[in-house]
Amino acid sequence: MPELPEVETVLRGMAPVMEGRVIVEAKAWVPKLRVDIDPAFEQTLSGARLVRMYRRSKYIVMDFESGVSAILHLGMSGRISIHADAEPAPERQKHDHVTFLTDRGDYIVFNDARRFGLIILCSTGDIETHALIRDIGPEPLGNQFDAKVLRAGLKKRKSPIKTALLDQKLVAGLGNIYVCETLWRAGIHPARRADKVSKQETEQLVPIIRDVLTEAIAAGGSTLKDYAQVSGELGYFQHRFSTYGREGEACLSEGCDATIQRIVQSNRSSFYCPKCQK
Partner DNA sequence: CGGCCAACCTGTGCGC
Partner DNA sequence: TGCGCACAGGTTGGCC
Applying CB under 7 A, the residues found at the interface with DNA are 1-3, 6, 34, 57-58, 73, 75-77, 94-95, 113-116, 132, 156-160, 163-164, 166, 168, 175-177, 194, 221-226, 228, 235, 266-269
- CA-nearest of 78, 83, 59, 58 to 70 is 59
- CA-nearest of 60, 65, 56, 104 to 79 is 60
Measured from the CB atom, is 66 or 159 closer to DNA?
Answer: 159
CB of 30 to DNA, least distance (A): 10
Measured from the CB atom, is 47 or 75 closer to DNA?
Answer: 75
Look at strands 107-112 and 78-83 and give their pairing.
antiparallel
CA 251 to chain centre: 26
Residue type, 148: K
CB contact at 8 A, 146 and 137? no
The edge-to-edge listing of strands for the beta sheet with 50-56 is 50-56, 59-64, 68-73, 118-123
CB of 229 to DNA, least distance (A): 10
CB contact at 8 A, 197 and 182? no
CB of 74 to DNA, least distance (A): 7
CB of 64 to DNA, least distance (A): 23
Measured from the CB atom, is 69 or 102 closer to DNA?
Answer: 69
Measured from the CB atom, is 75 or 187 closer to DNA?
Answer: 75
